[in-house]
């Protein structure tokens, strides 16, 4: 497939205008090739992904497509403080494989990150929040106890644990979600009448605010965003079924250490 056509199709579905101000999206490093046949899709590009590419029987990869921006800033600024990333970039540049990242534009776009997460949870009547369009809200088929749903949500989103703050309704039916680190948007979900808000990376003071407002918040690890890999692979195959997609899902959640 012509690379320009591929990027144009992705940009039409997930335009840059949907990205947060200051987000770093698009071409991270290298130069796009004229033709793209083989694409590596991953949540983050790192040494493990590089190692797996080098171990491929046919390592002729034309594009690496990530969710999180590989370079969050200029090369000079990033490399000045990150020698590991500098060396890794030199490796991928030597192989002439460009890296392209789709972050908050994918989070916000139709059939992107948060639509995929809402679908995985089985939510009905899914729609963007009016005051936080990146978030998605929907309803459960039947009411559930908040703790039971929290356990089910962690299972459906394929993580081994979650942190539940259950200061609100003990039976819930409406749920809002932003994948990754969107804890600060809990107030939008609360004001729009959702019984539970799901995101991740909540600081202590945000959790205290949620308790003070007698609300429910489920903090799931950032790794639920691994759904990007399967969702983006599906989108690429719909664009051109002849594309070879190499999905690399290598990130693990931190270990839970129980006090003895």
In a domain, 35, yes or no: yes
For the chain, give the mean pLDDT: 97
In Å, how far are 6, 74, 136, 158, 207 from 185, measured between CA atoms? 33, 29, 11, 23, 12
**Secondary structure (3-state) at 245:** strand
Q: What is the mean pLDDT of residues 10-25?
A: 97
pLDDT score recorded for residue 58: 77
pLDDT tens by residue, 207-257: 999 999 999 999 999 999 999 999 999 999 999 999 999 999 999 999 999
In a domain, 215, yes or no: yes
**Secondary structure (3-state) at 171:** strand
Whether residue 198 is found in the same domain as residue 115: yes
pTM across the whole model: 0.97
Asked if residue 178 lies in contact with residue 168, where contact means CB atoms within 8 angstroms, the answer is no
Whether residue 115 is found in the same domain as residue 212: yes
168, pLDDT greater than 90: yes
pLDDT score recorded for residue 68: 98
Asked if residue 63 lies in contact with residue 36, where contact means CB atoms within 8 angstroms, the answer is yes
Whether residue 193 is found in the same domain as residue 130: yes
Q: What is the mean pLDDT of residues 22-49?
A: 97
State the pLDDT confidence band at 97, using cuts at 50, 70 and 90.
very high
Domain count, the chain: 2
Q: Which of 80, 159, 85, 111 lies closest to 10 in space, CA to CA?
A: 111
Q: What is the mean pLDDT of residues 193-200?
A: 98
Whether residue 100 is found in the same domain as residue 175: no
Q: Give the separation between CA 92 and CA 191, rounded to whole angstroms.
A: 46
pLDDT tens by residue, 58-79: 778 999 999 999 999 999 999 9
Domain hosting 131: range is: 110-220
Whether residue 95 is found in the same domain as residue 114: no
Whether residue 72 is found in the same domain as residue 8: yes
Whether residue 23 is found in the same domain as residue 88: yes
């Amino acid at each position: 497939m012509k690379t320009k056509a591929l990027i144009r199709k992705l940009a039409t579905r997930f335009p840059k205008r949907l990205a947060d101000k200051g987000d770093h999206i698009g071409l991270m490093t290298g130069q796009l090739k004229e033709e793209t046949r083989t694409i590596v899709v991953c949540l983050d590009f790192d040494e493990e992904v590089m190692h797996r590419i080098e171990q491929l029987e046919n390592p002729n990869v034309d594009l690496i497509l990530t969710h999180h921006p590989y370079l969050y800033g200029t090369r000079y600024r990033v490399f000045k403080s990150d020698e590991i990333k500098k060396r890794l970039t030199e490796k991928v540049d030597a192989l002439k494989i460009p890296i392209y990242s789709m972050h908050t534009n994918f989070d916000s776009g139709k059939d992107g990150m948060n639509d995929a997460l809402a679908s995985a949870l089985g939510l009905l009547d899914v729609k963007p929040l009016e005051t936080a369009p990146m978030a998605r809200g929907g309803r459960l088929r039947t009411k559930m106890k908040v703790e039971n749903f929290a356990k089910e949500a962690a299972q459906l989103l394929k993580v081994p644990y979650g942190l539940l703050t259950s200061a609100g309704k003990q039976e819930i039916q409406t749920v809002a979600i932003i994948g990754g680190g969107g804890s600060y948007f809990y107030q939008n979900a609360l004001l729009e009448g959702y019984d539970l808000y799901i995101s991740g990376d909540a600081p202590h003071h945000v959790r205290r605010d949620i308790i003070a407002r007698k609300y429910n918040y489920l903090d799931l690890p950032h790794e639920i965003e691994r759904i990007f890999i399967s969702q983006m692979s599906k989108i690429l195959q719909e664009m051109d079924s002849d594309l070879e997609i190499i999905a690399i899902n290598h990130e693990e959640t931190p270990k839970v250490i129980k006090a003895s």
